[in-house]
Each structure stands twice: as C-alpha cells, then as structure tokens.
Amino acid sequence: MNLKKPLDTWARAFGRGVFPHQMTWVLDLPGRGLIMSPRTVAGRLPLRPDAQVLEVGPGSGYYSVEVARRIPQGRLALLDIQPEMLAKCAEKLRAAGLENFATYPADGQALPFDDASFDAIFLVTVFGEIAEREAFLREAARVLKPDGVLSITEHHPDPDFESAQAVATGLQAHGFEPLQQLGWRWAYTLNAVPRRGG
C-alpha cells in the first residue's frame, strides 16, 4: 500500500499553506466553535439583510452558513482555488436550506467580479495562505464598494497564523486602513477599509 499520498495530505493539513480539501472533516470538528464560532464571525461583519458579501477560502462552509442566513435579501459569493472545497461548501449551504450564494473557482490575484461589487469581503484563517498578498489586496480594494469592509479573522492553532499587528502593518502598506480589532491576541478579527483618493 502506498502511504505517500495520505501522508502528504496530512502534512499539508497541519503545515503551512493551502488546506487540502481531503481533510475538510477537520474544519468541522465541534471544538472549532469554542475558538471562533460562526455567530462570532458573522457578528463582526457589517451586514445588512441585502448585503453583497464575498468569502475567500470558505473551506467546508463552516462560517458560510451563518453569514448567508444573515443576508436573506443579499448574496454570498464563495471563492476558492479548490473546486472540491466549493462543492462541499455548496452542499452544506443547500442542506441548511440556503440558495443565496454562488461559487467561483479562482484565486485571489484576479477576482472575477466587477468594480464596487461587495459590501464586505471576509476571510477566516486564510490570509496567511495568500502568496501574492499585494495583488489580492489591490483586487479586494477594487471590488469593494466605497464604504465596503475587508474583514480578516485569524486564530490558533492555524499554522499560518499572523498577529493582528503584523496583518495591520501589511494592510497599511498596501492601501488599507484598519478600522477595528475585535477578540483577543490568539483569536481576533481585524476590519479594514481601502484608502480612497490616494
């Protein structure tokens, strides 16, 4: 029996970089909600019932369901580089009786959306996985509405965890202004807005 593939998958799941779709069951373990619950993440987003929201790297949809529930007249766009993740996420949303979403297999360097499309973009334990961060932030600023918010949530034990200070510094270097930090040192949300007009 060839163990190389399964061992590689496990190594990727608990190492740095993109989380493998074969391990989505880990993302749904009950203890995850104790670290950062879907209600907490959704509550930290500036959501109106008709909001247009983009989730980058939704994984299995652990947070997607709660966000989609809070925007019954809006729409949730789900973007991931792994089509398998998007399929699992869509299955979870449909099982919850939700249809106000669409999936987009793409990476963050060239977002397949028009300018000023979204009221909010959010990422949970994904920001540290983005290799071309400058390109992503440029695209995020482009597709956000003038009063739109970029919301980055990070928590341990994610191997790609970065401190709020490091994330805030990176955002400022690439055209965003941090608005608020919520949570605590090891499990936080940082909300930011693009600097407009220079």
The pLDDT score that the predictor gives to residue 182 is: 97
Residue 66 lies in a domain: yes
3 occurs within a structural domain:
no
Residue 178 belongs to some domain of the structure = yes
Q: Which amino acid is at 31?
A: G
- What percent of the chain has pLDDT above 70? 86
What are the beta bridge partners of residue 123? 152
pLDDT tens-digit map of 103-127: 999 999 999 999 999 999 999 999 9
* Domain carrying residue 89: 36-194
Q: Does some domain include residue 49?
A: yes
The verdict on residue 23 lying in a domain is: no
Would you state the pLDDT for residue 21? 60
pTM to 2 decimal places: 0.87
Q: Is residue 98 included in any domain, yes or no?
A: yes
Burial readout 115-138 (b: 16 or more C-beta within 10 A, e: otherwise): eebbbbbbbbbbbbbbeebebbbb
The pLDDT confidence band at residue 8, using thresholds 50, 70 and 90, is low
Q: By CB neighbour count within 10 A (0-12 exposed, 13-18 middle, 19+ buried), where does 34 fall?
A: exposed
**Cα–Cα distance between 117 and 177 in angstroms, integer?**
19
Q: What is the pLDDT of residue 99?
A: 98
The tally of domains found in the chain comes to 1
- pLDDT per residue over 75-100, tens digit each? 999 999 999 999 999 999 999 999 99
DSSP state, 128? G
> Residue 9 — very low, low, confident or very high, per pLDDT cuts 50/70/90?
very low
Does residue 68 sit within a domain?
yes
Asked if residue 30 belongs to a domain, the reply is: no
pLDDT of 12 reads: 44
**CATH code at 120?**
3.40.50.150
Question: How many angstroms from the chain centroid is the CA of residue 162?
Answer: 15
Mind listing the pLDDT tens digit for each residue in 149-190? 999 999 998 899 999 999 999 999 999 999 999 999 999 999
